[in-house]
Chains A and B, each alone.
Chain A
């Protein structure tokens, strides 16, 4: 699971039958800089490519969510479903205190 900021929503007019009525979020994954700024900071975008994630939890624009990528995203569905990213958690609080990273060795 990665964390990402919801930056928009998608509505489909046509969809695979198993996905009709689904909610979709456009998510910008948090980079290290965004982790450092925390949840309350002004919204800044990371350089990570944004993606669309299926959402059954009710995430809103501006919120930070946890999304699962890969094959596991389709596991919660009873039938085979073409999904690669799913919102699995709405983040309320985040504690982030990165360690002082040691100097990179000079080669």
Chain B
């Protein structure tokens, strides 16, 4: 998986853990930092994990959608100078597989 500058991604991912950091950008204060492993439609890992802000309280091994929209993340953390980028934007209820490939 790549993170090409200036391009926005929304990825299906699975929560695989969390991170605790005392020293961090002040805009991350109070936010849960979750380790999100991007996965394909079959649940297989794709690429390396991303750390995403979690406003929803996602649980371990839940499937989520993460977005790389920094502008929206800055609004969410309420700091226009924040480097925030990846954010969990929703929790997947039911995995749906439409293509049998």
Q: Which A residues form the contact surface with B (CB < 8 A)?
A: 1-3, 29-32, 35, 46, 48, 57-58, 66, 68-73, 75-76, 78, 84, 86, 88-99, 101-102, 104-105, 107
A97 to B25, CA, bound (A): 26
What are 20 A-B pairs at a CB distance below 8 A?
A1-B33, A35-B49, A66-B21, A68-B84, A68-B85, A70-B3, A70-B85, A76-B81, A78-B81, A86-B83, A88-B24, A89-B19, A89-B21, A89-B24, A93-B19, A94-B35, A96-B35, A99-B16, A99-B61, A102-B44
> 1/0 per residue B25-54: CB within 8 Å of A?
100100001010100001111001111100
Q: Which B residues form the contact surface with A (CB < 8 A)?
A: 3-6, 14, 16-25, 28, 33, 35, 37, 42-45, 48-52, 60-61, 68, 70, 73-74, 80-86, 101
A-side contacts of B35, CB under 8 Å: 3, 35, 94-96
Tell me which of A57, A66, A78, A104 contacts B42 (CB under 8 A). A104
Q: A35-B35, A70-B70 are in contact. Are A75 and B17 (CB under 8 A)?
A: no
**Other CB < 8 Å A-B pairs besides A72-B70, A88-B25, 12 of them?**
A2-B50, A2-B51, A32-B48, A57-B23, A66-B24, A71-B70, A75-B74, A88-B24, A89-B19, A92-B22, A99-B61, A102-B43
